[in-house]
Amino acid sequence: MLRLQAYAKINLALKILGKRPDGFHELNSIMQSVSLCDHLTLTEQPSGIQLATTNLRLPTDRKNLAYKAAELYLNRVTRDANRVKGIKIYLEKNIPLAAGLAGGSADAAAVLFGLNQMTEPALRITRYALLEMGAEIGSDVPFCLVGGNCTVTGRGEKVARNPLHTDRFFVLVTPDVEVPTKWAYEAFDQMTNAELRITNEGRRNDLEFVVIKRYPVIQQIKDKLLELGCSYAQMSGSGPTVFGVVSDAGLGEQVVNAIKKEHQKSLLASSVSRGVEQCPSLQ
């Protein structure tokens, strides 16, 4: 049995460079892993995949990225008798759904990482192969396998760790709306070049304008975080989660307590240096 922490991510910057021939978008993003995490327990079984979760809204079949990751890994690398043949996954879901925090990708990364760890060392696939497998599942999965602070390019499959690491605190606020990622990118594609120049000038997240236009609560949260003492506030990914940067944990707790009166899904998180890791109690 292996118990893992799968960390959420925020986009400190997200620039969209254009649409690729394969239908994906060419990105240049700075991503940061944060301490908000899902917990996954992996238990080996003779065959097959079983997935149970604390969130009843989540599918428990191959529509779930964690299940998809297990299926891909088991089908691809279980020919040897000493490899894992089947897995039972218990997912304790803490990262909000469809929130711009890569919760599903983090879970998929944890399953890939965990299955590889449960395999005898001599038979494990390489880090590069694991990242390639992650890219087949979703664009954020490679980053979630690496974690920390990284520059992410391509459609998300090219991940390079940034050399400097600064511990930071973030207030995360998720309003009660869900933003379809596909819609957000399509809305961005429909903007004219003139609109892009005007609306995204000075913004670090190219998706902010189109998402805020449809969901004004995001701008309201940004303004409130700045009013409460955050030095900077921005939407993460395709939203709707907004993060505010605070100078220390004390101020962060004050901001969380104040903004929770309007938005219950608010918490203080810190930067972490990994995307997935084994729970300390079982190491």
Q: Residues 9, 93, 222, 224: which is the catalytic one?
A: 9
Residue 198's pLDDT is: 66
Please state the three-class secondary structure of the chain as a single string: CEEEEEEEEEEEEEEEEEECCCCCEEEEEEEEEEEEEEEEEEEEECCEEEEEECCCCCCCCCCCHHHHHHHHHHHHHCCCCCCCCEEEEEEECCCCCCCCCCHHHHHHHHHHHHHHHCCCHHHCCCHHHHHHHHHHHCCCHHHHHHCCEEEEEECCCEEEECCCCCCCEEEEECCCCCCCHHHHHHHHHCCCHHHHHHHCCCCCECCHHHHHHHCCHHHHHHHHHHHCCCCEEEECCCCCCEEEEECCHHHHHHHHHHHCCCCCCEEEEEECCCCEEECHHHC
Average of pLDDT values for 94-99?
94
Average of pLDDT values for 102-129?
93
Average of pLDDT values for 47-53?
96
Residue in this structure with the two tokens 């303004």, named with its chain if needed: 223
Q: Is residue 9 annotated as part of the catalytic site, yes or no?
A: yes
Distance CA 86, CA 66 (A): 14
Q: In 10 A of CB 260, how many CB atoms?
A: 13
For residue 225, pLDDT over 90 is answered with: yes
CATH 3.30.230.10 domain range(s) in the chain? 2-162
Give pLDDT tens digits for 56-77. Answer: 999 999 999 999 999 999 988 7
**CATH fold label, 2-162:** Ribosomal Protein S5; domain 2 (3.30.230)
Q: Is residue 140 annotated as part of the catalytic site, yes or no?
A: yes
Alpha-carbon 133 to chain mean position? 17
Residue 147's pLDDT is: 97
Is 98:55 a contact under the CB 8 Å cutoff?
A: no
Burial class (CB in 10 A: 0-12, 13-18, 19+), 32: buried
**If pLDDT is split at 50, 70 and 90, which confidence band does 132 have?**
very high
**If pLDDT is split at 50, 70 and 90, which confidence band does 85 have?**
confident
Distance CA 234, CA 171 (A): 11
User: How is residue 228 written in tokens?
Assistant: 């409460």
Alpha-carbon 248 to chain mean position? 23
User: Domain 169-270 class?
Assistant: alpha beta
Residue 93's pLDDT is: 98
Give pLDDT tens digits for 154-170. Answer: 999 999 999 877 789 99
For residue 29, pLDDT over 50 is answered with: yes
Average of pLDDT values for 81-110?
91
CATH 3.30.70.890 domain range(s) in the chain? 169-270
Q: Residues 140, 206, 222, 224: which is the catalytic one?
A: 140
Is 144:122 a contact under the CB 8 Å cutoff?
A: no
What are the b/e assignments for 35-45, b being 16+ CB within 10 Å?
A: bbbbbbbbeee
**Lowest-pLDDT range, 50-54, 95-99, 232-236, 263-267?**
95-99
